[in-house]
Structures are given as structure tokens and as C-alpha cells.
Amino acid sequence: MTRPTNDTLLRALLREPTDYTPLWLMRQAGRYLPEYRASRATAGSFMDLCRNADFATEVTLQPLERFPLDAAILFSDILTVPDAMGLGLSFAEGEGPRFARPLRDEAAIRALEVAPMEKLDYVFNAVAAIRKALGNRVPLIGFSGSPFTLACYMIEGRGSDDFRHIKGLMYSRPDLLHHILDVNARTVTEYLNQQIEHGAQAVMVFDTWGGILSGPAYREFSLEYMRRIVAGVKREHNGERVPVVLFTKGGGQWLTDMADTGCDSLGLDWTVDPAQARALVGSRVALQGNMDPISLMGSAEGVAAETRRVLEAFGPAPGHVFNLGHGISQHTPPENVAVLVDVVHRHSRALRT
């Protein structure tokens, strides 16, 4: 009904032919942009940007004003969800996220409930405000963390090197971990459906930590809950298909299992060989990725060469969305992003003729 004027991203996610390879960048609105740092200083903090629809809109649009990107992504965070469950999120300057009340005992775990969606209204208001400000330029991507990745932060209470608390629970009381994951999956399904209702035109599930698991544990504790989300998310809204993207960092060896969930597209980190990924999943899903974000730290010539290499590795067949293999570093020179965007657009057109 309301396809954006530039619908290249949506077409590529659905494996329809496109004139060129569309691109967006994970964390495209962020600290590598001086205008983002200025907005954050005005707002006060990162969460103040997320909680105010005007600020969230402003920073979502910043990368699009600089570069002709093919999508916007909601400015928010995956940790809004456990915060809405009452765990008490804070971001200490330069230290990453912290939860005041991590899940460390059976009583707290048993008391966990699906987050009341009203507590996430600020996210849905941001989605609606961004859609309005975007006009019909490019599609808006909504997102959530995976149930397992959210559980990592909920149980560890912060980032971790060894994930000993969540793995301890997984090996000693798998029933309790399954309870958390079940609550998370039901919350994430509702959360993504509300984002879609408010205007998100594609959704992505970030499974940043699924790759720390063994194969059987990945299938049981991460993939199964993403499968439930794929099954429960509204795949059509206002007569338009809403593509679902799954991304497990470090999940390259499980791509066929991931495609079996019925999702539309898989995100690849930079360690995955695109031709091998395509051979594994066939034409079932689109692929999104996968340039090493740190390659953007080099010279302009180096960035151009690496961008061409990644495009050629995916080949000209339909169903590729260019992206980085993980979030862009705050140390990235914005000029190199301009080179990347230009080379993706021009070289992918050239490869098609």
C-alpha cells in the first residue's frame, strides 16, 4: 500500500531483482558522527535520545542526510526490553550497559513476566515519528534482541567475557533458563508486532551472543526461540510483506538451521564466506552483510577495494543487502563511509551489466 519510493532494500530482502545492491550499516546512527555526539550532549545521555521521539528521529535521520543509504533503522537499543521488565537499565559513560537487578535466583526468575507494552510506548512513538519524518524516502527497519542475547544481559547484569552466570544456569537449571527465554520470546514477538503496527517495514533480530554456544545448545536455547518469533511476527501489514532478518554473530555454521525458521533473510558476520553461505541456504533466504567493520579504518583506496571484494563475493544474483558484519566502530572516519556507500551503489550496478 505505502511502499517507499526507494524500495530497493525491501525487494532485496525478498530476493526480488534490483538495479543495484541496497545498503545500510549496523549502528549507522552513532558516535562516529560528530552530529550524533552533539545531539547526545544536548539530550543528556544515550537513553535520553531513545526516550524522546524528537531526538530519536533526529539521530535516526543523521546518517541519511550525509549518505544515500537505502534504509533507516530505528534509533533505540535491544536493552529497552529487559528495562521494561523492571531490571533497571543504566549506561555508565564509557562502560556499557548495567542492570541494577540481574536475574540471579529462582524467585526472581519465576517472577519474570512479559513486559507491559505501555512501558515501551516511547519506542513505538519513536517508530511513528521517524516514519512520518522519513516521508516515503526509504524503508524503516525495526529491531529487537534475540531472547538468548537479552537473557545474557539479564543474567550477567552487564557485558561478559565468559558468560559464566548464564552458562552456569544453562548447565545446572535449564528449566529456569527456558522460562526466561519463553518470557523473552513472547515479549519480543509483541514488541516487534507493535513496531510493525507503528510503521516498521522490516524487522531484524540481533542474536549477538548465540555464537558463544555449542551447536546443540544454540539450537535449544537460541534458535528455537527465534523460530517462535519468526512464527509469531506479523509478516504482512497494510498489504505489504514485512521481511524478517535473523543475525547470529558467530553463527556461520548454523545458517541452514537459521533458514529453516522461515525467516526472509540472514545477517552474516565478516567471518562467513558469502559464496559458501549461498551454497548452504540456496535461494531460500536473502543474505545481508558482511564487510569487516574495522576495514573502514584504513585508507579510502583500501575501503574501496574491500567493498568491491565483498560485493563480488556475493555475486550479482538477487537477494543481497550490503552491510557490515557487525556494528560500525565509533572510530570510523565518516569520509570512509561515503566511499563505501558510493562504491556499493556504482560497482553493484556495473556488476549487473
- Scanning 25-33, 102-110, 283-291, 313-321 for contacts with ligand CP3 by CB under 6 A, the matching segment is 25-33
Shortest CB 31 distance to ligand CP3, Å: 5
- Binding flags for ligand CP3, 92-131, as an x/- string (CB under 6 A): ----xx----------------------------------
State how far the Cα of 309 lies from the Cα of 285, in Å rounded to an integer.
Answer: 22
Q: Read off the C-alpha cell for 298.
A: 584504513
Q: Identify the active-site residue in 31, 101, 104, 219.
A: 31
Interacting residues of 164 by C-beta distance below 8 A, sequence separation 6+: none
Of the residues 4, 22, 30, 157, which one makes contact with ligand CP3 according to CB under 6 A: 30
Which one of residues 77, 156, 220, 224 is an interface residue with ligand CP3 (CB under 6 A)? 77
User: What is the grid cell recorded at 239?
Assistant: 498489504
Farthest CA pair distance, the chain: 62
Q: Cis peptide before 238, with omega less than 30 degrees from 0?
A: no
Nearer to ligand CP3, 327 or 333 (CB): 327
Give the DSSP per-residue string, 193-224.
HHHHHTT-SEEEEEETTGGGS-HHHIIIIIIH
Question: Are β-strands 96-99 and 236-237 bridged in parallel, bridged antiparallel, or unpaired?
Answer: unpaired
In the complex, what is the shortest distance from the CB of residue 353 to ligand CP3, in angstroms, rounded to a whole number?
A: 32
Cα 244 to Cα 143: distance, rounded to the nearest angstrom: 9
Q: Which residue is nearest to ligand CP3 (CB)?
A: 208
Q: Which stretch binds ligand CP3 (CB under 6 A): 73-81, 115-123, 174-182, 211-219?
A: 73-81
Instruction: Establish whether the linkage from the previous residue to 290 is cis, with ω within 30° of 0.
Output: yes
Please pick, among 20, 153, 218, 225, the residue that the annotation labels catalytic: 153
Q: Do residues 242 and 203 touch, judged by C-beta distance below 8 A?
A: yes
Span interacting with ligand CP3, options 76-84, 112-120, 214-222, 264-272, rule CB under 6 A: 76-84
Residues 305-344 that bind ligand CP3 (CB under 6 A): 327
Active site residue 228: no
Which 154-213 residues touch ligand CP3, going by CB under 6 A?
Answer: 159, 206, 208
Cα–Cα distance measured from residue 45 to residue 47, given in angstroms and rounded to the nearest whole number = 6
**In whole angstroms, how large is the CA radius of gyration of the chain?**
19
Residues forming the annotated binding site for substrate? 27-31, 77, 153, 208, 326
Which residues are near ligand CP3 by CB under 6 A? 26-31, 40, 46, 73, 75, 77-79, 96-97, 143, 159, 206, 208, 327
